[in-house]
Amino acid sequence: MMLIRRLAAVPMLAGAIAVGAVACEPTTTVQDGLVNVNVGDVTILEDVNVAVAADVVAQLCGVNVDAVVAVIAAVDQDSRTRTICKLEDNDKVRITQN
């Protein structure tokens, strides 16, 4: 009977340790208001304020600043890279989390 209790306790203990390890894992999203702007494979702005990035991207893509502010802010929040536009030479203007 004691052996059965020990055998039953091992999986429960292992599960508790695994859940604790996952809960303590650091998140990769850093909402600091800073992003990177890439054109093709080149980073043209690094660790810049969302408003500055929006102004530069709006000029590069020929769009209204207000149209890109929310998209760029979303990159800062969820760390998902977003392509804003393609330039004439097919280089993508992308926003990435810093």
Q: What is the pLDDT of residue 31?
A: 77
Residue 36 exposure: Cα atoms within 13 Å on the Cβ side: 15
Beta carbons within 10 angstroms of residue 53's beta carbon: 26
Cα–Cα distance for residue pair 75/30, rounded to 1 Å: 10
Cα–Cα distance for residue pair 96/67, rounded to 1 Å: 17
Q: Where are the domains of the chain?
A: 34-97
- The tokens describing 9, both together, are 């306790």
Q: Spell out, as residue ranges, where the chain has pLDDT lower than 70.
A: 1-30
Q: What is the pLDDT of residue 28?
A: 53
